[in-house]
Structure 1
């Protein structure tokens, strides 16, 4: 029985490691509102929910909605996450726009999109 479980886990790990992350298609989560200002800078609005946030809002005058302002690379990348464009294609556009300033392009881009995923700002459509 233990061998069956171990082999299922091993096959799942092998399959996931064979997936090419650059083929993934990120899509922006609808849990957070975001907007772009006139200069092209993206701001993500995060609603502070839960009992601890409620207490902080009442006692410490913390805001109900926090704002996350993205820098120039993030502000360029975030609108490209449309549920149709793969991470590889986003990288091509970033490279064309920023040139050598974006290097090392794909390691930085994949780490950035993984961070967006970890914080719940995006999800993935697998190929």
Structure 2
């Protein structure tokens, strides 16, 4: 995939992910429902039902831009408009972060 194709990618937030937004900061709620966790809960161990992962300011901004319609290029333009030079090198970092959310975390899915 070349750079031009990468900028035209569109992502959406996975339907299996729960999250909360508090003062523009996103907290991902990962359900902890592995059979072993369920077993230990029955034994009265205090295992939370959800693991909470709090995204930083930049990560939250990007996550909230992912709507199934905006391209990577549009998200990058919005990010640069909001945070200016602090985002550079813009698209290299943005694509790496989106790839991490997609491949490693399964928080987002490709639309196209």
Bigger mean CA deviation after superposition, 50-59 or 64-73: 50-59
3-state SS, counterpart of residue 49 of structure 1: coil
The answer to whether structure 1 residue 65 and structure 2 residue 50 are counterparts is yes
Aligned to 1:7: none
Post-superposition offset of 1:56:
5.0
Q: Which residue of the partner structure matches residue 83 of structure 1? A: 68
Structure 1's unaligned 5+ residue stretches are: 1-16
1:94 corresponds in structure 2 to 79
Q: 1:54 aligns with which of 32, 35, 38?
A: 38
Give unpaired runs (5+ residues) of structure 2: none
Contact persistence 1:47–1:64 (CA under 8 A): yes
C-alpha RMSD of matched pairs (Å): 1.7
Aligned length: 109
- Give the TM-score, by structure 2 length: 0.87
Which structure's residues are more often helix, by fraction?
1
Distance in 2, Cα, partners of 1:57 & 1:93: 44
Give the structure 2 partner of residue 120 of structure 1.
106
CA radius of gyration, larger in: 1
User: 8 Å contact 1:47–1:65 — kept in the other structure?
Assistant: yes
